[in-house]
Structure formats: structure tokens, C-alpha cells
Amino acid sequence: MDDKRAAFNAIDTDGDGYITADEFKRSLQTSSGKVSDSNAAAIVAMADDNGDKKIDYNEYAKFVR
Ligand SMILES: [Ca+2]
Ligand SMILES: [Ca+2]
């Protein structure tokens, strides 16, 4: 398993294959303190190519490249 996939799976805590703003916020909070709902949503929106408010693995891979 490559690092990017491992990182994606670590953020996708319910394992449905999508990172939501909620999951993203939780992952950031553990590593770097407080993140507001709107900040988490803004970051998700940045990576979200197809506008479904979730980040799938392809979008994630493109975002962190
Ligand atoms: Ca998920
Ligand atoms: Ca998406």
C-alpha cells in the first residue's frame, strides 16, 4: 500500500471511500489543534472536483500531489 492510500484511509475513518468535511476536521484536530467547520469545509471544497462535498481517492491524490 502506498503512503498516499494509507493517509487517505487514516482520514476516512468510516471507510466508505470518501473523506467528508467532518472526517477531515477530526483528522486535523488531532494533528494540529482546532479547526473550524468552515475551514474544514473550505479545504474540502478546494480538493472537491466534482462538487459532491466529499473527497474521493482520486481527488485526494490530485490534491496532495
Ligand atoms: Ca468517510
Ligand atoms: Ca468529490
pLDDT tens string 5-57: 999 999 999 999 999 999 999 988 765 567 889 999 999 999 999 999 999 99
What local confidence, expressed as pLDDT, does residue 2 receive?
86
For residue 25, the CA-to-ligand 1 centroid distance in Å is 12
Distance in angstroms (rounded) separating the CA atoms of residues 8 and 34: 20
**Closest listed ligand to the CA of 54:** 2
What local confidence, expressed as pLDDT, does residue 31 receive?
58
Distance in angstroms (rounded) separating the CA atoms of residues 41 and 59: 15
Fold classification of 3-64 (topology level): Recoverin; domain 1 (1.10.238)
- For cell 494533528, name the residue: 31
pLDDT at residue 1 tops 90:
no
Crossing angle of helices 21-32 and 3-11, in 10° steps, is: 100
**Closest listed ligand to the CA of 59:** 2
Distance in angstroms (rounded) separating the CA atoms of residues 28 and 49: 21
Query: What DSSP element (H or E) covers 56?
Result: strand 54-56
